């Protein structure tokens, strides 16, 4: 099974787009996304220095555009990707890349959203000096205790050997003296304490804007930074993405879901290296590919072919005559009572729960519908994205516009 992942802020380096602009198709698409975002992305990705592209308002649109346009170069037609990719995820702002790549929102909506995200987070960061530092090594619980003792937030939990602490500059200075044995602290090239309470003003702004973004349900398994779960609803994913600006990134749980799914190959979109580096420590036996230059495209396509099963997951295809409710994660399924064939479900009604060692998660029927067929039995073990229930859509009276369709 193939996983494609998109990196977050801090992955950018000066000039990383230069070789890609030699491709006419890449240059044209980047030019369009530059027009949409109001930023000269080609300049930022080729001639700007490290300090310039460190600016949150620049870095985030640059990363999302780079990831989206690179993904388009991998496939002759975007529809070809859906049958070959098993799971998609993005780290932090990479969630916007991932969402647009699997059809949750258009590329244009993604660029407007990430432009506003970057600006709002930059404004929130300017209120007081804040930053982030990676704690490498050490005992996990001891590291978390040290972070808590300094009133910092474990903003990125990146699995074995790396937890990112975020907060004020003064709090991060205190952490230097509070670190447990066999650890080291690495300051990150970011402009603020992302994924903490310091970003709440940005969340408020994005929540208002996102209400007008038209979404579709993803056609590939799409993982959320909140808890590593498969999210089958485009609207729910967008809401989670907005809230994530001020909430910790659980990349460790995203990788656990990839392991549960049986991922055999992981390809990181440019600028690649950060997420494959983390995967090397946490996803043993998984083949990794860093896509950083256009000269690697043929090799990347071979990598994709070697790790894809060639089939679009039935639960995530476009289905005009029925819908499927899928499992958000791995565990045992417990069915809600009274939901027999023919029963009508309201939007968001709970059909049951999936329980594992991390706890229990309820499963809603996001769009509602009439029960056609149960695809699992009470107590059955289920995997992320596995179909649970087949529903017949129920027509709604009245028409809806793009602004209120979700």
- Residue 77 pLDDT grade (very low, low, confident, very high; cuts 50, 70, 90): confident
Query: Which residues form the domain of 97?
Result: 2-124+197-307
Q: Which of 48, 92, 233, 327 is catalytic?
A: 92
The domain boundary, picked from 187, 213, 233, lies at: 187
> What residues contact residue 26 under an 8 Å CB cut-off, 6+ apart?
20, 69, 70, 73, 294
State whether 242 and 106 are in the same domain: yes
In this predicted structure, what is the pLDDT of residue 399? 33
Q: How far apart are CA 64 and CA 60, in angstroms?
A: 6
Domain stops at, among 140, 155, 187: 187
pLDDT digits (tens, 9 = 90+) for 317-346: 444 457 889 999 999 999 998 898 888 999
In a domain, 53, yes or no: yes
The reply to whether 403 falls in a domain is no
DSSP labels for 296-330?
GHHHHHHHHHHH--S---GGGS--SS-EEEE-SSS
Specify the DSSP class assigned to residue 342: T
User: CATH code at 150?
Assistant: 3.30.70.250
pLDDT in the model for residue 314: 41
**What's the structural domain count of the chain?**
3
Phi, psi dihedrals of residue 205, rounded to the nearest 5°: -65, -45
Domain identity same for 97 and 207: yes
Output the domain CATH number for residue 378: 2.40.50.100
Residue 143 lies in a domain: yes
| pLDDT exceeds 50 at position 402 | no
Confidence of residue 102 (pLDDT cuts 50, 70, 90): very high
Q: Are residues 168 and 299 in the same domain?
A: no
Q: What is the pLDDT of residues 254-304, one digit of tens each?
A: 999 999 999 999 999 999 999 999 999 999 999 999 999 999 999 999 999
Q: The domain spanning residue 265 has which CATH number? A: 3.40.366.10
User: pLDDT-derived band of residue 401, with 50, 70 and 90 as boundaries?
Assistant: very low
- CB-count exposure of residue 267 (10 Å: 0-12, 13-18, 19+): buried
At residue 397 the predicted structure's pLDDT band, cuts being 50, 70 and 90, is very low
Tokens at residue 386, please? 């596995």
Same domain, 152 and 294: no
Would you call 307 a catalytic residue per the annotation? no
Q: Where are the alpha helices (DSSP H) in 102-233?
A: 107-125, 140-149, 169-178, 200-210
Do 151 and 205 lie in one domain? The reply is no
267 inside domain: yes
pLDDT confidence of residue 43: 97
Q: Is 145 within the bounds of a domain?
A: yes
pLDDT surpasses 80 at 80? no
Place of tokens 């087949």: 390
Q: Is residue 314 part of a domain?
A: no
Q: Of 195, 205, 307, 367, which residue is the catalytic one?
A: 195
Mean pLDDT of the chain: 90
User: Both 94 and 223 in a single domain?
Assistant: yes
Work out the number of other CB atoms within 10 angstroms of the CB of residue 350.
12
Q: Which of 187, 213, 237 is the last residue of a domain?
A: 187
Q: Quick one: 120 and 143 in the same domain?
A: no
- Do 167 and 270 share a domain, yes or no? no
Structure tokens at 130: 């804040």
Render pLDDT for 171-199 as a digit per residue (tens, 0 to 9): 999 999 999 989 999 988 777 899 999 99
Same domain, 202 and 181: no
pLDDT band (50, 70, 90) for residue 89: very high
Is 195 annotated as catalytic?
yes
Contact call for residues 190 and 56 (beta carbons, < 8 A): yes
- Rounded to an integer, the average pLDDT of 15-20 is 97
Same domain, 157 and 118: no
Q: Are residues 217 and 171 in the same domain?
A: no
- Do residues 80 and 30 both lie within one domain? yes
117 pLDDT higher than 80 = yes
Q: Do the domain assignments include residue 117?
A: yes
Give the global pTM.
0.85
For strands 2-6 and 87-90, give the pairing.
Answer: parallel
User: Residue 154 has what pLDDT?
Assistant: 95
With respect to residue 398, please indicate whether it lies within any of the assigned structural domains: no
* pLDDT (0 to 100) of residue 239: 95
315 contacts 261 by C-beta, under 8 angstroms: no
Lowest mean pLDDT among 93-97, 302-306, 368-372: 368-372
286 DSSP β-pair partners? none
Instruction: Report the percentage of the chain scoring pLDDT > 90.
Output: 73
d(CA 387, CA 383) in angstroms, rounded, equals 9
What integer pLDDT is reported at residue 395 of this predicted model? 57
Task: Enumerate residues 6+ apart whose C-beta is below 8 A from 139.
Answer: 180
236 within 8 A of 243, measured Cβ to Cβ: no
């Amino acid at each position: 099974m193939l996983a494609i992942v998109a990196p977050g802020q801090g992955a950018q380096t000066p000039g990383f787009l230069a070789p890609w602009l030699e491709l006419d198709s890449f240059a044209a698409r980047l030019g369009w996304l530059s027009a949409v975002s109001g930023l000269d992305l080609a300049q930022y990705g080729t001639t700007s220095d490290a300090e310039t592209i460190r600016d949150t308002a620049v870095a985030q649109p640059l990363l999302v555009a780079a990831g989206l346009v690179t993904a388009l170069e991998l496939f002759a037609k975007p529809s070809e990707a859906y049958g070959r990719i098993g799971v998609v995820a993005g780290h932090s702002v990479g969630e916007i890349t991932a969402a647009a790549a699997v059809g949750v929102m258009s590329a244009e909506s993604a660029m407007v959203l990430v432009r506003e995200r970057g600006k709002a987070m930059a404004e929130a960061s300017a209120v007081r000096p804040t930053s982030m530092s990676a704690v490498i090594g050490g005992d996990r619980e001891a590291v978390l205790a040290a972070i808590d003792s300094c009133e910092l937030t474990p903003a990125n939990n990146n699995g074995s050997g790396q937890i990112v602490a975020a907060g004020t500059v003064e709090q991060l200075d205190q952490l230097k003296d509070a670190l447990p044995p066999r650890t080291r602290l690495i300051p990150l090239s970011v402009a603020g304490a992302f994924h903490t309470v310091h970003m709440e003003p940005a969340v408020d702004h994005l929540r208002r804007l996102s209400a007008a973004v038209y979404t579709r349900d993803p056609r590939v398994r799409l993982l959320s930074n909140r808890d590593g779960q498969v999210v089958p609803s485009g609207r729910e994913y967008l809401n989670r993405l907005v809230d994530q600006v001020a909430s910790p990134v659980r990349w460790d749980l995203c990788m656990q879901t990839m392991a549960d799914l049986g991922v055999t190959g992981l390809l990181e979109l440019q600028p690649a290296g950060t997420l494959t580096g983390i995967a090397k420590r946490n996803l043993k036996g998984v083949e990794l590919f860093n896509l950083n230059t256009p000269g690697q495209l043929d090799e990347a396509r071979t990598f994709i072919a070697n790790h894809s099963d060639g089939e679009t997951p039935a639960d995530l295809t476009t289905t005009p005559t029925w819908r499927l409710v899928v499992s958000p994660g791995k565990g045992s399924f417990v069915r809600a009572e009274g939901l027999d064939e023919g029963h009508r479900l309201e939007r968001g009604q709970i059909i049951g729960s999936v329980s594992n060692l991390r706890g229990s998660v309820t499963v809603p029927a996001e769009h509602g519908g009439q029960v056609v067929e149960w695809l699992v039995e009470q107590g059955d073990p289920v995997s992320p994205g596995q179909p649970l229930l087949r529903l017949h859509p129920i027509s709604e009276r009245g028409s809806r516009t793009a602004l209120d369709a979700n």
